[in-house]
Structure 1
Amino acid sequence: MLERFLALEEYVYSVISKCTNMPDMLSRTEISVLKDLVALMNSVASVITKISEENYPTCSVMIPIIHCMTAAITDCVTATEIGNEFQAKLLNQINNKFQHLELTRILAISTILDPRFKRLHFKTALAASNAIQDIDNQMRKISSYKTKKAIENDQDVNNVKSSTPNLWHFYDNLVMKNREVTDTDSKSLNLELKQYLHQPVIKRSENAFNHWELLKPAFPLLSKLALQYLSIISTSVPCERLFSHAGNVKTDNRSRLTGEHLNVLLFFSSMSNEEWGLT
């Protein structure tokens, strides 16, 4: 509203001057205050718009975009005393609201697994280290589970082939237990994770999902984990948008529309022209 008023300022004054009961005009100082407020709130408005989308990953964007928003507000130069006070209070509220943002497990892991950001926007090294260690632990659990299943399958095959008791059963169990202990006690990161972290970040305009599709042959385990975390939505806006759209589809005239058919209609309407083959 304030931004629109400032854009039409010269036209508003000319129209108001023709009114019989003309309201009080804003002083030049008040106009300067409005300009300061708009400049400070532009970053906040951009963040709200960015994280409310649903066509690209938003969970991994939270930490970087809050970091950039804080820096933009801090660097904003205000011309009035009210603007200075508003800037200080705005930064204080942002700090109180998001001071533990990097310690949020899902946000931290998804940011590390986004090839556009990785550790770039973490203010505290401990938060990035904890997220990397969490990713490494998950990968080790998956690897350990696959190894255990492979050994169990080998044991089943050997038991089927031999009609006598398996003399190597104790050995197989000992190997499996020793492998689990080795994986747990190892201090080095998983090789896939280590190689991924050493690669440079990609351009912010690139698609993170498409990039992971290209990396899948080289990082088969990490790519699956990355796609799971990057698919997480950071806000409830897409869900609320879907409820509003469902209300437009199931009107009073279509009150007998079943839930199954409503689900199909909502799915079809969410498809882009490219997915329909219209482009």
Structure 2
Amino acid sequence: MIERFLELRTIVNDIIIRYKNAPPMLTASELSILSSVLQVLRPIEAATKEVSADKYCTSSKVIPLIHCPLLKIKPLKLEESLAKELQSVILKEIDKRMGVIERVTSLAIATILDPRFKKMYFTDPTACSSAVAKVKEFMKATIQNEVVESDSSDHSDKPEDNFSLWDDHHKLVHKSWKTTKSDDAISDELSIYLRSSVGRLNENPLEIWNDLKIQLPKLHTIAYKYLTMVGTSVPSERLFLKAAQIVNQQRNRLKGKRLNKLLFLQSLPKEH
């Protein structure tokens, strides 16, 4: 709104001076304040638009989109006192509301498992290390489940052996070997992923992970689980709004099954 007004200020001024009952035009100092305010608000508007989409991954963008506006707003050198006050208030509010965003486990894991960001935007090393540890736990649980399934299938096929005093010893050796193997697999997958180069910003992280599926199968499963989360409630609100436009007074007897189909068809891209 401010940007549009500043673009059209000369035209608005020409219209206002023709009518005696029109509101007074802004002074040069007030227009200067508006220009400074626009510099402060523009990064927040861009971040809001970016994280409110529903056609691409948004959960992994939350932490980067907190830091990027800060990097734009903090260095601003403003002359007007009102704009300076707005700048300080915005920085305080971002810190108050989003200061501990890196400690939100789901968002931290999504950011680390996004090949475009990984650990780049983490300022809190403790939050970063705890998120990496959580990913290791998930991978270990996945491997242990596979081991239990393979063990149960092995035991079911084997006939009963004769009594042996060293049966338990063999079981312990087998268990320790599998644990070591699983730990190596976890550390190998994570280290390969974290050491690899960062993806381009315009790439789809799900498509990148589709290419890495064979090389990093355990991480691939966890990445798909966390990257598909939405970052805000905007997509669900948008869906409710679309449903309200379809189910109106003239079409109030539509069943849920038909409504789901209509909403699905509406969500498809135009080329499909």
TM-score range, shorter chain: over 0.9
Q: Is the 8 A contact 1:139 1:190 kept in 2?
A: no
Decide which of 185, 189, 193 is 1:192's aligned counterpart: 189
For 2:140, the equivalent position in structure 1 comes to 140
**Residue identity in the other structure for 2:121:** H
**Residue identity in the other structure for 2:199:** I
Cα offset for 1:262?
A: 0.7
For 1:90, the equivalent position in structure 2 comes to 90
For 2:217, the equivalent position in structure 1 comes to 220
Structure 1 gaps of 5+ residues are: none
Cα offset for 1:171?
A: 5.8
Structure 2 gaps of 5+ residues are: none
CA 1:166–1:53: 2 relative to 1, 3 Å? farther
Cα offset for 1:21?
A: 2.1
Q: Is the 8 A contact 2:140 2:186 kept in 1?
A: no
For 1:251, the equivalent position in structure 2 comes to 248
**Residue identity in the other structure for 1:115:** P
Decide which of 204, 207, 210 is 1:210's aligned counterpart: 207
For 1:126, the equivalent position in structure 2 comes to 126
Residue 56 of structure 1 aligns to a residue whose secondary structure is: coil
Cα offset for 1:247?
A: 1.2
Cα offset for 1:111?
A: 0.2
Q: Partners of 2:59 and 2:222 in 1: how far apart? A: 14
Q: Is the 8 A contact 1:59 1:233 kept in 2?
A: yes
> Within 5 Å, which residues of 2 pair with 1:12-23?
12-23=12-23
CA 1:126–1:189: 2 relative to 1, 3 Å? farther
1:238 to 2:235 alignment: yes
**Deviations 1:108-146 (Å, cap 9, x if unpaired)?**
000000000000111122211111111011101110111
Residue 114 of structure 1 aligns to a residue whose secondary structure is: coil
**Deviations 1:129-166 (Å, cap 9, x if unpaired)?**
111111011101110111111011100111xxx26678
Higher RCO structure (Cα 8 Å, ≥6 apart) = 2
Q: Is the 8 A contact 1:105 1:131 kept in 2?
A: yes
Cα offset for 1:25?
A: 2.6
Q: Partners of 2:207 and 2:54 in 1: how far apart? A: 16
For 1:273, the equivalent position in structure 2 comes to 270
Q: Partners of 1:77 and 1:166 in 2: how far apart? A: 82
1:263 to 2:260 alignment: yes
CA 1:66–1:50: 2 relative to 1, 3 Å? same
Decide which of 176, 179, 182 is 1:178's aligned counterpart: 176
Q: Partners of 2:155 and 2:170 in 1: how far apart? A: 8
Q: Number of paired residues?
A: 271
Cα offset for 1:191?
A: 1.3
Identity of aligned residues (%): 32
CA 1:169–1:239: 2 relative to 1, 3 Å? farther
**Residue identity in the other structure for 2:146:** K
Q: Is the 8 A contact 2:16 2:24 kept in 1?
A: no
| Residues 4-13 or 162-171, more deviating | 162-171
1:154 to 2:147 alignment: no
Give the RMSD, CA atoms, in angstroms.
2.2
For 2:10, the equivalent position in structure 1 comes to 10
**Residue identity in the other structure for 1:178:** S
| Residues 265-274 or 209-218, more deviating | 265-274
**Deviations 1:25-84 (Å, cap 9, x if unpaired)?**
322111111111111101111111111100111000011111011110112232312111
**Residue identity in the other structure for 1:236:** S
CA 1:257–1:173: 2 relative to 1, 3 Å? farther
Cα offset for 1:180?
A: 7.0
For 1:229, the equivalent position in structure 2 comes to 226
